[in-house]
Chain A
């Protein structure tokens, strides 16, 4: 029975999110009270992993200073990076374990909480079998912690069920790249972007979700390159696009097949490259035959002339790049969408060369590294397949167990929720994951959490999901633990421990080692530091696809990051994959994979006629567990708003700021309208960072891509109506921050 021990209001009042506006120790005059030191490390948020220097005073992070020498971002930061430091002494910070008690959580000792956790897991496994417990991880964890989690699940618990919130992020791209190239990584470093003559950005709100990438796109344009943006919304970078394709949600694969149709029709393909370095072209050529510009336009809503132009620009350039992100990947055909982009790049010979390729924009902090080393349900360290006998043998040897002791592949993140509903999984231990906000169909997720016999959470703030926990173990922030992460471009970087966790909280890795000890598996977890875990990870990855063996902490510091694969200490690392057109498949070739268009898992119809798509805003990150607690970021965009085109709004008599009821086949929420001309009139948009009655994921559906198991956040069917009454939370509703108020042309610029 994992119902919250108190009302949501009581728990929110006690544990937040409370927005904090002031750094630890208050604003201080640096001349009087200077920081003790500056720590060169990285941002805790997105997959860009910008270099940043944290100001530390009295073992507290009190501010930041740009780190201009780090080559990826050269001192640049987005507002999340600027304000990221405000978490370490946040008033909501958990400083000790909590156990569910009567009427609320009660403080517990670490021994009590860890004993309870280990006993609960053991009891469930004894009664219901090893696979009755599951582990959830997160893609913001360091690679050391990701590796440790994978080993903990498979060695300490012997369960096959471990998966992570990267399932909501990179799995469609990863699956497609593995099919096409035999490896899951962006093939090109970001420094290739300015060298391209044409860049297509598809399903990627670069300005808000990967702001630093904007700099690379602008440099590309300054070098004379052309920018093509494909998106149902005119995102901020679209103002400088040379061509804008306003694709209808869920039709991306058709658009890219349409582009390839034009390329082949006009004989613009790279015939020699296709012949020498690829297989499967004929089937793809056959599949795109039907997608002439007219038919493509009818489905996608992109004009035939724009399809012709985009295809010609891309194919006629010597060097072209396609950048893509969740817009095309968060779909029930996410893998096919990505494959259709890859097919276009392969057919035009744009791969494995400077300034030419297809690139995924990894979304989460360690989205790349987090999936390479073992918290993904089907992978072992080094991006090895868990079903590959050789991989199992290698990893078992490193772990000191027999290969057959490693469980086979388990269920993915969303499927674990389904298994909880079916009663097959009864215990869950989660870290760095807020599924109640981030998974689709929040009502269904809540029911699953309520069915659990045991639910344990490791976190530094009490997320909405953790309200359902039986035990909460107070863990550590990114700046409190050393480790590595791998950035979107495949660069392994070093996270420094800037401070120790506050009294009462503990380093995450020690929590899992202590649990392993209580589960009788102490000898497999003898680590005394993250470095010891990393050294084992290097061995475990050795010879794998994502080979880290040659990457040491010292090399990362000296070289400002090292790109994998890096098999030996004297190997320079691999910033660009597939040079010389050697691909990672056994045949050495790139594989075309034919695609086809399918309708969304939640199709629009007469009852639900409008497309709903979800995404991020620049000042918030993922489920908002961290960013909703940072005052300045909250002020910038305090609550979700419904973006709606004036044409659609007028047809429903909806005016700016009106409360609108948005309903889908799952549920309904009420939000204020943000009437904007920057979105297709058949589509509305809601950012997903909020919980409860403000949660976009109350509306989204559970259809998964059959191969990647990613949910279809980007395409749902909804209907809209002016709300008959404001929502219960209307009293706390705030207008967007100072900037958007300025748009209302207040004549006197007065700041209160």
Chain B
């Protein structure tokens, strides 16, 4: 859908799995969800994260695929592995910095979120972002998010030496431009 972007805000997630259940309902998925939901550590917290694909500009999953089975469409959607090529080796599963791909044992294939290509191409919003009752997943124009939310969307993620930019945005504290997981990135170090 033209002008619409995908936004994830795990802080708003209530762990209901509506997204996962709705994903499984797609006729082409036949009851199998292409996304999942992580309980971070139920003993310590109710915090949960809906794990939909971030659709990286330069997808790590595709980079590490020995069978060249993972392709990106022109409009930036990283697709499930190509069935004839995928060898179910799980390289993509281990390499993805966001923990998204899964190998479906029955199909012997990596399958994952394609941002409801069949729906968005017909002017419908992706199923998970349509049903999500808690704004953890949203598919709206960027201007709407800027107007409605306290947080700032970002799509730049720094994982040590790797900087990943993505089609999907993550809501971060107001003013955040890039999310880094390494304290070093926030330090001032004397130039050598």
Contact = CB atoms under 8 A, between A and B. Distances in A.
Interface of A: 21-22, 27-31, 63-64, 66, 68, 73, 75-79, 81-83, 207-208, 211-212, 214-215, 218-219, 221-222, 234-240, 618-619, 632-633, 636, 646, 656, 674-678, 737-740, 742-743, 747-752
B166 interface: no
Contact of A675 (B12, B37, B43, B125): B43
Contact of A743 (B39, B99, B106, B135): B39
Contacts of B43: 646, 656, 675-677
Contacts of B40: 743
Interface stretch (B22-30, B58-66, B156-164): B22-30
B93 interface: yes
A238 B31 CA distance: 32
Nearest to A643: B42
Contact of A79 (B16, B46, B90): B16
Given A27-B31, A240-B12, A619-B17, A78 B133 contact: yes
B102 A28 contact: no
B41 interface: yes
Contacts of A73: 133
B46 A632 contact: no
A751 B102 contact: yes
Nearest to B10: A239
Nearest to B127: A66
Contacts of B20: 79, 738-739
Contact of A208 (B14, B30, B102, B125): B14
A742 B36 CA distance: 9
B34 to A, nearest CB: 10
Contact of A218 (B22, B27, B134): B134
29 contacts: A21-B31, A29-B28, A64-B25, A73-B133, A77-B22, A78-B16, A79-B16, A79-B17, A82-B25, A208-B14, A214-B12, A214-B14, A215-B134, A237-B14, A618-B17, A632-B21, A632-B31, A675-B43, A677-B45, A738-B20, A739-B37, A742-B36, A743-B40, A747-B94, A748-B94, A750-B93, A750-B102, A750-B103, A751-B105
Nearest to A48: B133
B135 A215 contact: yes
Contacts of A676: 42-44
B142 interface: no
Nearest to B42: A743
Given A239-B11, A751-B32, A677 B133 contact: no
Given A27-B27, A740-B42, A208 B90 contact: no
Given A211-B14, A739-B37, 14 more contacts: A76-B132, A83-B21, A207-B134, A218-B134, A221-B150, A235-B46, A237-B14, A646-B43, A676-B43, A739-B38, A750-B103, A751-B102, A751-B104, A752-B105
Contacts of A740: 39, 42
A8 to B, nearest CB: 30
A593 B169 CA distance: 51
A23 B66 CA distance: 38
Q: Is the interface of B mostly helix, strand, loop or mixed?
A: loop
A469 to B, nearest CB: 33
A743 B14 contact: no
Contacts of A646: 43
B18 interface: yes
Nearest to B13: A236
9 tightest Cβ-Cβ pairs between the two chains A and B = A207-B14, A27-B30, A743-B39, A236-B14, A749-B102, A211-B133, A214-B134, A79-B21, A77-B131
B27 A743 contact: no
Contacts of A68: 125, 130
Contacts of B17: 79, 618-619, 636, 737, 739
Contacts of A239: 11, 45-47
Contacts of B94: 747-748
Contact of A749 (B18, B41, B103, B131): B103
Nearest to B9: A218
A212 B133 contact: yes
Contacts of B81: none
B134 A79 contact: no
A270 to B, nearest CB: 30
Nearest to A743: B39
B153 interface: no
A737 B36 CA distance: 11
Nearest to B96: A749
B61 to A, nearest CB: 12
Nearest to B151: A222
Nearest to B147: A222
B36 A739 contact: yes
B154 interface: no
Given A83-B21, A211-B14, A739 B39 contact: yes
Contacts of A636: 17, 21
Interface in B115-159: 125, 127, 130-135, 148-150
A82 B32 contact: no
Contacts of B27: 27-31, 63
A211 B47 CA distance: 15
A64 B152 CA distance: 33
Contacts of A742: 36-39
Contacts of B37: 738-739, 742
B24 A632 contact: yes
Contacts of B22: 77, 82
A462 B130 CA distance: 34
Contacts of A633: 21
Interface string B84-102: 0000001001100001011
Contacts of A678: 45-46
